Amino acid sequence: MQTLIIEDVKYKTRLNKKFLTRKPYQPANPKEINSFIPGTIGNVYTKKGKKVKAGEKLLELEAMKMVNTIFAEFDAVILDIMVKPGDLVSKNQLLLKFK
């Protein structure tokens, strides 16, 4: 038996192997944009070192016959762009970093 604490309440339970080997949760870094689905990079509307405003188009990710436009969530400076048009990206691949 092991003790599991959820919202300050202690539970005694047997934890299965799947639970013990799970990947720990890591909150998303707001200064990085990762691919949320595998696909192909369409257009890249920004460049390294550019100041972008919230709501500005950054790039397009084509997946499952749809074009997903990724916008800046806040005002920032582009630190680095890891992809170029035509690149194939996997899920959770780093696409862009903010300063």
pLDDT tens digits, 16-69: 899 889 998 888 899 999 999 999 999 999 999 999 999 999 999 999 999 999
Maximum separation of any 2 CA atoms in the chain, in Å: 55
pTM more than 0.75: no
Euclidean distance between the first and the last CA atom of the chain, given in angstroms as a whole number: 46
Closest by CA to 86, choosing from 64, 67, 54, 62, is 62
Q: What is the pLDDT of residue 15?
A: 86
pLDDT tens digits, one per residue of 11-25: 999 988 998 899 988
What are the phi and psi torsion angles at 62 (to 5°)? -95, 125
Length of the chain: 99
The per-residue pLDDT for 4 is 84
